[in-house]
A and B are shown apart, each in its own frame.
Chain A
Amino acid sequence: MQWDIVIGLEIHVQLATKTKIFSGSSTAYGAEPNTQANAVDLAMPGTLPVPNEQAFRYAVMFGLAVNSEIERRSVFERKNYFYPDLPKGYQTTQLERPIVGPGYVDIDLSNGESKRIRIHHAHLEEDAGKSLHEDFHGMTGVDLNRAGTPLIEVVTEPDMTNAEEAVAFAKKLHSLVTSLGICDGDMSQGSMRFDVNISLKPKGSDTLGTRTETKNLNSFRFMEQAIAHEVERQMDILEDGGVIEQETRLYNGDRDESRSMRTKEEANDYRYFPCPDLLPVEIDESFIDDARSRLPELPDARKARFKDQYGLNDYDAGLLSGDATLAAFFEEAVAHGKDAKLTANWIQGEFSARLNAEEKSVADSPITGAQLGNMVTRISDNTISSAGAKKVFDALWTGENDNVDAIIDAKGLKQVSDTGALEQMVDEVLAGMPDQVAQFQAEEDPKKRKKMLGGFMGPLMKVSKGQGNPKLFNEILLKKLGG
C-alpha cells in the first residue's frame, strides 16, 4: 500500500536575552548549578513574576520575520504538571492568545522548487530546569539555572510531507532566528529543540491518521533519522493491520531507536487556566514599529543580494547566506579577496571541511574572513598556486603566522611567473623526455592529449621547486609541443 506522510513541527527556541522571562536572574550558559536560580525561579512563596520586555521584543521580531499578525493583547496561562525541574508545579505559557499569530516561511527544496510552510502560531513561555539522573544515592539532582529562560515555541501546520522538507524548514528557522539575533542557535547546548509530529494516511486520502510526537531532537541529522525511523515504524504497524497509538516518543540518535514516553491513556491533563499573577500584556504600534526597525537583513533578502552583488549562483548564494555568521565571514573575505566565486569555493571547500573535521562553528574559526580574503587575492594575482594556497591556509589555521604575505615569503611559495625563466625550464624538461614528446605529438584524441600534458607537469614542478606558475607552464607547453 502507498502512504502519504504528514509532518508538523514544534520548535522551542531559547531567546538570547540577558535575563529570564519573569525574573532578573542571568541566563548565561555554563554557570555553577543553581547560582542563577533566585526566589522567583525557585517559586518561593510571596514572589511575583515581572515579564522581560526584551523577550516580547524578540518574539515580535520573530513574528514580523515570518509574516505573522502580532497579537496586540497577549495573555499567559498556567500549564499544570508535576516534575522536579519545574518548581512552581506549572509552566507559565500562552494558550488562548499567543503573541505571534498565523504566518509562513518559504523553504527551498533540492529539486529547485520552493514550498510555503504555514506557521500556526508562536507563543512565549518559560523553560524548565535540568534533572540529572546520575546516581546521587538513589536520588535525582536538579539544576534550576535554566528554569525561567525565555522560549518561543513555534508550531507549524502539518504542511511537510517528508524528512527533506522538515529538515529544510528546521534549517530555515535556524537561519532566521540566528540572523535576527534572537537566539544563539547553538543546538548542542539545547538552544533549539525540535518535536516532530508524524502521521500516515493512505495515498490520496483526506482523513489524517493518528499521529505520534517524537520529542527533543537537537540536531538536524537526528531529526532526519527520527522521521525515517518513525515513518517505517508506523508503516510496519499499519501494514500488519495494526493501529497507531497517539503517544509521545523519545528517539535515541546514537542507537537509532525510539521508545514510548507516555500514551494517551495516561496523557497529562494540564488543566490550563489564565495565570492570576500576570496581567494581559498590551503591545502597541510603537513597540511593533520599534521591533520592525530592528529587523536586520533576513536570509531570503541576503541570498538575493549575494546573487546580485557578487554574481554567485543560486546554490552558492543559498549556502553562504543561510547562516548569519557564515554570511558575515564571506562578506569580510570578499571585501579583501575581490574574487567572490573563488572566495565562495574556498569557504565551501577547505574552510568548511576544516571546521567540520574539528567540530568548530564559524564563530570559533581560527582564521578571519580578512585573512582568507588576502589569501584569495594572492591566488587571483598569480602570486601563489592553489597548492601553495593550501599551505598558506594551513599556516593561518594553526596560528603559525597570521600574515598571508609573510607566510608566502617564509615558505617560499611565491610562483615564478617570469615567462623567460619558465620557458627555459620547459625546454630543459622536454629535452629530457623525448619519447613522451613524440607520443604526445602522435596522439590525436584531445582527451588523451590533455592527460599526457599533465605528465609533463610533475617534472616541471620539480624543476621549479613547486614555484612555477602552472597556468603559464601549461600555455608554454602547448606552444612548444604544437598543441
Chain B
Amino acid sequence: MTISRKDIEKVAVLARIRVDEEQVSALEKDLGNILDLVDQLSAADTDSVEPMAHPLNAVQRLRADEVTETDQRASFQAIAPATENGLYLVPRVIE
C-alpha cells in the first residue's frame, strides 16, 4: 500500500503537526513501509478471531458515584500560560 503526498498533508493538518516540504518525501517512504507491514498482517486469516478492543484480557472496573476530588484550581492555574477570572485563556477561537 502506498500513501500519497496529499494524504500526508491531510494527516499533518488533522494532527496539527507542521511538516516541511522536504520531510514529506521521507515520510512517504516511512509511512509506506509501515502500511506495507499492516498489509502483511492483513493477509492473515482472522475469520474465526473476535476483534479485540484492548490487548489485555480483562474487564474495566467501575467506580462509585462519589465526589473524591477537591478544588485545586490554584495549583493547576499556576502552571497555565494565561488565566483570568478563573478561566484558562487560549488564542481566540472563532467558529
Contacts and interface: CB of A to CB of B under 8 A. Distances in A.
A143 B87 contact: yes
A141 B61 contact: no
A280 B67 contact: no
A18 interface: yes
A24 B87 contact: no
Interface stretch (A62-70, A106-114, A132-140, A166-174): A132-140
Contacts of B88: 34, 84, 141-142, 144
Nearest to B70: A38
B84 A136 contact: yes
Nearest to A22: B63
Interface string B68-94: 110111001100001011111111111
A24 B14 contact: no
B62 A281 contact: yes
Contacts of B16: 82
Nearest to A57: B65
Given A133-B93, A279-B56, A23 B69 contact: yes
Scoring A35, A83, A97 by chain B CB atoms within 10 A of each residue's CB, the highest score goes to: A35
Given A34-B73, A279-B56, A281-B59, A83 B93 contact: yes
Interface in A1-59: 17-19, 23-26, 32-39, 42, 50-56
Contact of B92 (A24, A80, A138): A138
Q: Is the interface of B mostly helix, strand, loop or mixed?
A: loop
Given A23-B69, A280-B59, A269 B64 contact: no
B60 interface: yes
Interface residues of A, number: 53
Nearest to B90: A84
Nearest to A273: B53
Nearest to A33: B86
B90 A139 contact: yes
Contacts of B72: 38-39
Contact of A33 (B10, B85, B94): B85
B89 A271 contact: no
A276 B54 contact: yes
B65 A52 contact: yes
A131 B91 CA distance: 11
Contact of B76 (A34, A83, A143): A34
B76 A42 contact: yes
Given A33-B86, A35-B86, A26 B54 contact: no
Contacts of A32: 73, 86
Interface in B42-57: 53-54, 56
B89 to A, nearest CB: 4
A326 interface: no
A17 B16 CA distance: 35
B67 A18 contact: yes
A282 B10 CA distance: 37
A65 B62 CA distance: 23
Given A84-B90, A142-B88, A24 B53 contact: no
Contacts of A335: none
A284 to B, nearest CB: 10
What 7 pairs across the A-B complex have the smallest Cβ distances? A24-B68, A141-B87, A54-B65, A53-B62, A33-B86, A279-B60, A75-B53
Given A19-B68, A132-B87, A250-B95, 8 more contacts: A39-B76, A53-B64, A56-B62, A136-B84, A139-B90, A142-B88, A279-B59, A282-B60
13 contacts: A24-B66, A25-B69, A32-B73, A34-B87, A38-B69, A53-B63, A53-B65, A80-B14, A133-B94, A136-B87, A139-B89, A141-B84, A141-B89
Interface of A: 17-19, 23-26, 32-39, 42, 50-56, 75, 80, 82-84, 96-97, 131-133, 136-144, 250, 261, 269, 271, 274, 276, 278-282
